[in-house]
Amino acid sequence: MDRNLLSEIQRLKPGEGVVYHEGFLAVDRVHPQGEGLKSMAEQVYKLYQEDKIFLVQRKIKTSASGMSIFEYIAQGRAKE
């Protein structure tokens, strides 16, 4: 897991965003080499559940095999 990236996500201001993964998260996180990604995704999702960030995704391409590839983006959220 990339602690620097997680720290950056935690410090996002409203309207700022950072890409925390590029690929197909549901598949990539269960891959044997995806253990760090799984942990990162769980921690990012926890920040979302705590209303600290928004989570969005943007399709960036379709692979040769027909699988969609996305950017997964955490965006800062205003405190209420």
pTM: 0.87
Please name the helix (run of DSSP H) or strand (run of DSSP E) that holds residue 22, with its range, or none: strand 17-23
How confident is the prediction for the chain on average, in pLDDT? 91
**Residues recorded for the chain:** 80
User: Which position has the higher pLDDT, 1 or 15?
Assistant: 15
Q: What percent of the chain has pLDDT over 90?
A: 68
Mean pLDDT value across residues 12-24: 95
To the nearest 10°, report the CA torsion of 15, 20, 26, 28.
170
List the chain domain ranges: 3-76
Residue-wise pLDDT tens digits, 23-55: 999 988 888 777 788 889 999 999 999 999 999
